[in-house]
């Protein structure tokens, strides 16, 4: 005899076996369980054990979490999801943003971000992926007070309406925005940092983050941004690098003070009074600072720079896309350090 758990036929004997397993844990080790649950790491550890045990025994971890099936685009949860994708103000007010796709969501969870809602389309998303991410949801740290992790199942038709881009494997999530400051950045012994002032286009910032990840940069600091760090276009353009690279938003003045306190040299990319980038020493702790393509850097950065650098241009134009410039300068630092 079988029961149907999330479209998975499971023997009734296995169901009872798992119920006995849960009862055993609770009765055999009540004091130990209470003690462990007092700590976040303990909760995460027990959740992981249960997720692995249930998966091994044939039960889908999603049945142990709050689940819901949504079929209408008029559902309040769907309206909120769309607002999170479209409006920066909603993201700030709710403290949530949206991630689409297996790769991006994997990087997001691996970086310690907390998922509030896992949105799956069983018609598109493979069963093994649903199980994998459900297990990760069970194993994550507790959500902020008042939030409960949920799995939301939608049809392919509804998924097509809420997906910001196509081809995202039927997998999305609402994720909590973490509170990150300069103090949270962990630096290597010889740090390499990118600073962007007043960046406006999410696509450019996403491309810079990809270059920063590839070059092994310690962090990307976005000063006085004109776009938020969790814009769907930015997450998509970065293909998840916004999660793999330490990324923080801060003011220009506090960033300058922080860089100087860490002994990191400030190199500003500008046309005026500058030396070619390849003639500038980047082997020690370095922050490469770039402004917008239209107006460049403001005076506070020019004034506080240790050196001004430029990329020589042989054509008639006088500027490159900021993401291209970032890639060139980052890999010059990598080249110098590898030779050193």
The DSSP element (H or E) to which 197 belongs, if any, is: strand 192-197
294: buried, middle or exposed (CB in 10 Å: 19+, 13-18, 0-12)? exposed
Token code pair at residue 333 = 């630092």
CA–CA distance, 128 with 152 (Å, rounded to integer): 16
Least confident of 27-31, 289-293, 325-329: 27-31
pLDDT attached to residue 247:
96
At 194, is the pLDDT very low, low, confident or very high (cuts 50, 70, 90)? very high
Looking at 32-41, 80-89, 178-187, 281-290, which range is the least confident one? Answer: 32-41
Residue 211 burial (CB count, 10 A): 22
Instruction: Please name the helix (run of DSSP H) or strand (run of DSSP E) that holds residue 328, with its range, or none.
Output: helix 322-339
What is the token pair recorded at 232? 């769907």
3-state helix, strand, coil in the chain (%, to 5): 45, 20, 35
Mean pLDDT in residue range 8-29: 54
Domains of the chain: 1-59 (no CATH), 60-178 (3.30.1330.30), 182-339 (3.40.1280.10)
Q: How confident is the model at residue 27 (pLDDT cuts 50, 70, 90)?
A: low
Express each pLDDT in 263-282 by its tens digit: 999 999 988 889 999 999 99
Cβ atoms within 10 Å of 303's Cβ, excluding its own: 9
8 Å CB contact between 176 and 96: yes
Residue 336, pLDDT > 90, answer: yes
Q: Is there a contact between 160 and 253 (Cβ–Cβ < 8 Å)?
A: no
At 67 the three-state DSSP class reads strand
Tell me: the pLDDT tens digits for 90-128?
Answer: 999 999 999 999 999 999 999 999 999 999 999 999 888
């Amino acid at each position: 005899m079988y029961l149907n758990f999330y479209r998975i036929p499971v023997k009734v004997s296995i169901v009872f076996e798992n119920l006995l397993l849960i009862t055993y844990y609770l009765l055999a080790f009540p004091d130990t369980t209470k003690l462990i649950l007092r700590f976040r790491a303990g909760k995460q550890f027990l959740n992981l054990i249960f997720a692995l045990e249930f998966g091994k025994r044939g039960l889908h971890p999603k049945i142990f979490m709050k689940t819901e099936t949504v079929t209408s685009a008029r559902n309040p949860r769907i309206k909120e999801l769309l607002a999170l994708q479209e409006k920066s103000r909603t993201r700030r007010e709710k403290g949530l943003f949206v991630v689409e796709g297996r790769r991006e969501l994997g990087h997001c969870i691996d970086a310690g971000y907390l998922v509030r809602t896992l949105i799956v389309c069983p018609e598109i998303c493979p069963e093994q992926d649903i199980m994998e991410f459900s297990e990760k949801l069970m194993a994550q740290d507790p959500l902020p007070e008042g939030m409960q992790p949920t799995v939301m199942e939608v049809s392919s038709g509804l998924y097509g309406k809420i997906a910001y881009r196509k081809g995202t494997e039927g997998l999305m999530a609402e994720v909590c925005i973490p509170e990150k400051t300069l103090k949270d950045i962990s630096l290597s012994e010889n740090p390499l940092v990118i600073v962007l002032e007043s960046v406006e286009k999410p696509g450019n910032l996403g491309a810079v983050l990809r270059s920063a990840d590839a070059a092994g940069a310690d962090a990307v600091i976005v000063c006085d941004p004109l776009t938020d760090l969790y814009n769907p276009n930015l997450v998509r353009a970065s293909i998840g690098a916004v999660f793999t690279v330490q990324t923080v938003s801060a003011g220009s003045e506090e960033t300058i003070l922080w860089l100087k306190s860490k002994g990191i040299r400030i190199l500003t990319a500008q046309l005026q009074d500058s030396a070619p980038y390849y003639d500038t020493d980047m082997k020690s702790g370095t922050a490469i600072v770039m402004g917008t393509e239209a107006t460049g850097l403001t005076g506070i950065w020019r004034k506080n720079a240790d050196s001004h650098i430029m990329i020589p241009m042989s054509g008639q134009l006088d500027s490159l896309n900021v993401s291209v410039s970032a890639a060139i300068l980052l890999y010059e630092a990598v080249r110098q350090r590898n030779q050193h």
